[in-house]
């Protein structure tokens, strides 16, 4: 076959390349101008990967590549739009919009709209959002004749998550249930039946859910040879951002589209692969060179975010992982921008002494919260805005004590990962049980816990409570009693009365096993053994029905269960159930100067100019940065999570999560953990620092020894040598 090279006018290219060289560092420039072939770009945290991708697309266009022959896959459409807007600014081209840019789902939809008929769909198919999909699954559960009450069948939301996880990991449904949802293994055949009905109904109704967009695209590329060849030819250059977060299905689609030209450039950081729990496949990026033996490897290692001291700790931490692409982040920062005068009178840059990451052992969780709050106020006084400060944690319940301390000190904050801890639905559920024990006339609490019973909705809950209220004069005279014993007796009588009156008002409900178990649970909670022991009450609620409720109703049941255990641990400090509930109520009163209902707000109000401190899980923090970062509960058994260590290779993913946390900090980094912790049985437990701390040399930290102001400290004040021993 004869070879002919088309010559294009490239008179302006050298000038543009000169500008590229001035805009990019050497590592980025090498990526941007790389030869067209399979390419893996390992881009460390804060190294400007987005900039490199943007300039790469611009470079390809200026090399004469037609925009419609470029595919840019990102994880958000916003990211794609921002990149292409910047490309348009760089090139001045009016055709940048013709680049195939967007999320995997957007790109899949564009292709499927053209070829849906090849798969038996009309081109005008509808796309189901999450709520629509859940509603349809509910219909399919009914159609499959599943006895949901008798068999405690999972709710539609959970079934949806099971099906979705199987789709995105390319695993059989039964394998997913056995591995990720073992408590539903006896229902495998029924869940598969629902899935079969669900798939059939979607096809009949000409609708697809989000997973279908990817599944059907893969099916199209595998089964329809002519169509597959069309797009394999069209996409001469494929670029994928955040490749470490792709799942098996997404990686397979990219491989199918790149089968002819193999000009696929994937950009990501294996050290920031932290989403295995939602189906992301670490091996996609780690084994890319195996799937593409001809691939060239580039590394972006110049970090523009953090100080050398922070990067030294991050580099050392991640080095303990066996499966990784070795890299060494180098700080661009660390030089004094003002510089210093040399002997010749010229100003030259001089090295700036940075702060070593602070390791702060605290006597207990209260001191940990007090230290974080105190230091945050100091940083604000020193000129660091609250917007530039974040507190990171492994699990959401780790922030309980800190949220209380921040509220007491009137420090405004936002919870990046959602609502405040005590405003979460599952926390409010458990707290409602306790509220009924203290105040049996609490209508909202009664209705909330009644609706947790299978088959009980608003109507039935209202009827039961109305029956209770109707008997107040006769059955509840002791409600006005003031002593704790009388209150306990009253609560027990009300609970027994609830069972009696339910028989009269809703006979079907009262005779059901779930309702009988509900009454028995309440009676146990006010028994001599558990009365006024809020930690044990919470644990009993969790272990006697509520854990199963979470498993059946929520796809993130494990995380919610962890929160409940954290609540029980927090509750151990209170001598009475009333004391715990009063504390929670007073917090809102102190904040707003008057009692407030517990509502699902994202932000605690306060502060000037909406200046808010950020509290966030590490997962939610990925891609963000702050001048000062606090990582709390950096203790063994908390970070890494013990639950995660039960899985193969989970320790390495936890270390990657730790690495992500470290690299969020620009200027100052604080690692804190309590030396002593009290569990929900009021047993004192000695805690060790996280293995991610002890595996690093002690000279990478500065140990801070805390002293209490104006009063004697219960525990001995640590000396420098003693504190350092905790690292050994």
pLDDT of residue 505: 58
Confidence of residue 571 (pLDDT cuts 50, 70, 90): confident
Confidence of residue 404 (pLDDT cuts 50, 70, 90): confident
| Per-residue pLDDT at 715 exceeds 60 | no
Confidence of residue 592 (pLDDT cuts 50, 70, 90): very low
pLDDT of residue 504: 53
Q: Which residue has the tokens 């009290």?
A: 678
SS3 of 566-591: the string is HHHHHHCCCCCHHHHHHHHHHHHHHH
| Per-residue pLDDT at 81 exceeds 70 | yes
Residue partners of 328: CB distance under 8 A and separation at least 6: 301, 315
| Per-residue pLDDT at 3 exceeds 80 | no
The number of CA neighbours under 13 Å toward the Cβ of 136 is 23
Find the mean pLDDT for residues 457-465.
79
| Per-residue pLDDT at 507 exceeds 70 | no
Which of 22, 12, 16, 9 minimizes the C-alpha distance to 58?
16
Separation between Cα atoms, residue 533 and residue 544, nearest integer Å: 16
Cross-strand bridge partners of residue 345: none
pLDDT of residue 627: 95
- The residue with greater pLDDT, 588 or 5, is 5
Separation between Cα atoms, residue 47 and residue 365, nearest integer Å: 36
pLDDT of residue 172: 92
Separation between Cα atoms, residue 446 and residue 440, nearest integer Å: 8
Characterise 293 by phi-psi region: left (phi > 0), alpha (psi -120 to 50), beta (else): alpha
- The residue with greater pLDDT, 706 or 256, is 256
What average pLDDT is seen over the chain?
A: 82
Q: What percent of the chain has pLDDT over 70?
A: 81
pLDDT of residue 606: 42
Tens digit of each residue's pLDDT (9 = 90 or more) over 166-176: 998 889 999 99
Confidence of residue 362 (pLDDT cuts 50, 70, 90): very high
Tens digit of each residue's pLDDT (9 = 90 or more) over 434-450: 888 877 777 778 888 88
Find the mean pLDDT for residues 564-570.
83
| Per-residue pLDDT at 291 exceeds 90 | yes
CB 404 within 8 A of CB 587: yes
CB 572 within 8 A of CB 677: no
| Per-residue pLDDT at 549 exceeds 60 | yes
Instruction: Give the number of other Cβ atoms within 10 Å of residue 694's Cβ.
Output: 13
Which of 271, 293, 298, 291 minimizes the C-alpha distance to 282?
271
Q: Which residue has the tokens 């989403």?
A: 275
Alpha helices per DSSP H over 471-556: 472-475, 484-505, 507-510, 513-525, 534-541, 547-553
Tens digit of each residue's pLDDT (9 = 90 or more) over 653-700: 999 999 999 999 999 999 999 998 876 566 778 889 999 999 999 999
| Per-residue pLDDT at 149 exceeds 80 | no
pLDDT of residue 6: 74
**pTM beyond 0.85:** no
Tens digit of each residue's pLDDT (9 = 90 or more) over 40-76: 999 999 999 999 999 999 999 988 899 999 999 998 8
- Written as six digits, the tokens of 392 are 């990171």
- Written as six digits, the tokens of 370 are 């007090």
pLDDT of residue 599: 31
Q: What are phi and psi of 461, to 5 degrees?
A: -60, -40
- The residue with greater pLDDT, 139 or 475, is 139
Q: What are phi and psi of 515, to 5 degrees?
A: -70, -40
Q: Dihedral through CA 575, CA 579, CA 580, CA 586, nearest 10?
A: -150
Find the mean pLDDT for residues 104-115.
91
pLDDT of residue 577: 84
Cross-strand bridge partners of residue 672: 360
- Written as six digits, the tokens of 551 are 């498993």
Tens digit of each residue's pLDDT (9 = 90 or more) over 603-618: 343 444 468 999 999 9
CB 133 within 8 A of CB 176: no
| Per-residue pLDDT at 252 exceeds 60 | yes
């Amino acid at each position: 076959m004869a070879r002919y090279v088309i010559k294009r006018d490239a008179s302006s290219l050298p000038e543009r390349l000169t500008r590229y060289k001035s805009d990019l560092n050497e590592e980025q420039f090498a990526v941007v101008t790389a030869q067209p072939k399979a390419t893996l770009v390992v881009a460390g945290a804060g190294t400007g990967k987005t900039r490199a991708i943007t300039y790469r697309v611009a470079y390809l266009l200026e090399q004469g590549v037609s925009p419609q022959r470029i595919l840019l896959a990102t994880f958000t459409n916003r990211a794609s739009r921002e990149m292409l807007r910047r490309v348009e600014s760089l090139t001045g081209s009016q055709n940048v919009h013709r680049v195939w840019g967007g999320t995997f789902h957007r790109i899949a939809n564009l292709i499927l709209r053209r070829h849906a008929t090849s798969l038996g769909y009309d081109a005008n198919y509808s796309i189901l959002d999450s709520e629509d999909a859940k509603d349809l699954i509910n219909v399919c559960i009914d159609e499959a004749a599943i006895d949901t009450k008798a068999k405690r069948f999972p709710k539609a939301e959970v079934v949806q998550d099971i099906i979705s996880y199987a789709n995105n990991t390319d695993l059989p449904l039964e394998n997913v249930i056995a591995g990720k949802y073992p408590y539903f293994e006896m229902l495998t055949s029924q869940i598969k039946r629902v899935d079969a009905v669900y798939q059939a109904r979607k096809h009949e109704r000409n609708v697809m859910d989000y997973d279908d967009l990817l599944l059907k695209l893969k099916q199209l590329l595998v089964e329809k040879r002519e169509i597959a060849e069309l797009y394999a030819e069209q996409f001469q250059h494929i670029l994928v951002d955040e490749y470490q977060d792709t799942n098996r299905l997404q990686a397979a689609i990219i491989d199918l589209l790149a089968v002819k030209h193999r000009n696929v450039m994937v950009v990501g950081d294996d050290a920031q692969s932290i989403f295995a729990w939602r189906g992301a496949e670490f091996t996609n990026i780690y084994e890319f060179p195996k799937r593409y033996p001809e691939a060239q490897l580039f590394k972006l290692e110049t970090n523009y975010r953090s100080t050398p001291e922070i990067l030294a700790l991050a580099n050392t931490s991640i080095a303990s992982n066996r499966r990784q692409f070795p890299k060494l982040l180098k700080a661009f920062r660390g030089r004094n921008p003002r510089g210093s005068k040399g002997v010749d009178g010229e100003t030259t840059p001089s090295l700036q002494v940075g702060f070593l990451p602070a390791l702060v052992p605290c006597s207990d969780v209260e001191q940990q919260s007090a230290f974080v709050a105190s230091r945050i106020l100091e940083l604000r006084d020193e000129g660091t805005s609250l917007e530039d400060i974040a507190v990171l944690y492994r699990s959401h319940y780790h922030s309980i004590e800190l949220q209380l301390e921040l509220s007491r000190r009137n420090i405004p904050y936002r919870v990046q990962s959602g609502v405040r801890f005590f405003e979460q639905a599952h926390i409010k559920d458990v707290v409602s049980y306790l509220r009924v024990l203290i105040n049996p006339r609490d209508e909202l609490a009664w209705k909330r816990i009644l609706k947790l019973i299978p088959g009980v909705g608003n109507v039935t809950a209202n009827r039961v409570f109305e029956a209770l209220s109707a008997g107040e004069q006769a059955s509840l005279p002791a409600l006005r009693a003031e002593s704790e014993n009388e209150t306990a007796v009253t609560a027990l009588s009300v609970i027994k009365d609830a069972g009696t009156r339910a028989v009269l008002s809703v006979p079907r409900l009262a005779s059901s096993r779930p309702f009988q178990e509900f009454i028995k649970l309440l009676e146990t909670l006010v028994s001599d053994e558990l009365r006024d022991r809020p930690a044990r009450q919470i644990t009993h609620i969790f272990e006697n029905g509520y854990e199963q409720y979470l498993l059946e109703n929520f796809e993130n049941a494990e995380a919610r269960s962890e929160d409940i255990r954290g609540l029980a641990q927090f509750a151990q400090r209170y001598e009475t159930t009333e004391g715990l509930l009063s504390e929670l109520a007073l917090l809102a009163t102190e904040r707003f100067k008057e009692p407030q209902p517990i509502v699902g707000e994202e932000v605690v109000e306060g502060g000037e100019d909406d200046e808010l401190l950020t509290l966030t899980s590490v997962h939610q923090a990925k891609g963000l940065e702050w001048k000062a970062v606090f990582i709390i509960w950096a203790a063994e058994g908390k970070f890494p999570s013990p639950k995660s260590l039960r899985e193969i290779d989970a320790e390495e993913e936890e270390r990657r999560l730790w690495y992500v946390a470290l690299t969020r900090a620009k200027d100052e980094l604080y690692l804190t953990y309590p030396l002593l912790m009290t569990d929900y049985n009021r047993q004192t437990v000695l805690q060790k620092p996280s293995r991610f701390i002890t595996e690093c040399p002690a000279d990478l930290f500065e140990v801070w020894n805390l002293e209490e102001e104006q009063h004697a400290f219960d525990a001995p004040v640590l000396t420098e040598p003693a504190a350092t021993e905790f690292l050994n």
